[in-house]
Amino acid sequence: MDSENSGAQARIGLKTRLSWLLALVPPVFLLDLVTKRAVLHYMEPYGPTVGLIDNIARLRFIYNEGIVFGLNPSFFSGTVLAVFSVAVALLMTGYLLFARLDDIPTLAALCLVIGGACGNLVDRIAWGRVVDFIEIGIGDLTWPVFNVADISVTVGAVLLAWRLIFAAPAESGRSDGEKDS
């Protein structure tokens, strides 16, 4: 039995973790970067919206100086948010590389969060704010404007929460007292 698969349940080895990291993080990061650059090039900030799907989905270019969904607590500056983004990306990457992981959905979720955090980090470092441009809603009832990085972070976080709440206890074949081999 190889060292990557020892223990009660097969653990995901470093090579597989790095493969997933390289397979998901750069595409998420690049898609976020390319879409934001297109918005910066072709749209005016706070200008007219562009209706897409029956005007339920729209392109609307805004700068988000706050946190998720445009929340902007007064004690958060662009620098504080950039430092926080770096910390999240580093902690998630460290966890992905060194924690005991034995399921691909958790690994994929971590990669999505890391890719999205890196995407928004570039904006915070470059401009002290984030480019948001996707608006969804019907009439005046709209969700806060977001971007590709936000989608990635949200999907990753929801998947992590799902795994922690529902899947992890049911899949664990070990008691808390067992040690890794």
Q: Which sequence positions are flagged as catalytic? A: 132, 150
CA 86 from chain centre, in angstroms, equals 13
Other CB atoms within 10 Å distance of the CB of residue 41: 7
The side-by-side arrangement of strands in the sheet containing 57-64 is 50-51, 57-64, 130-138, 141-142
Q: How far apart are CA 105 and CA 88, in angstroms?
A: 19
Three-class SS of residue 155?
helix
The CA R_g of the chain, rounded to the nearest whole Å, is 19
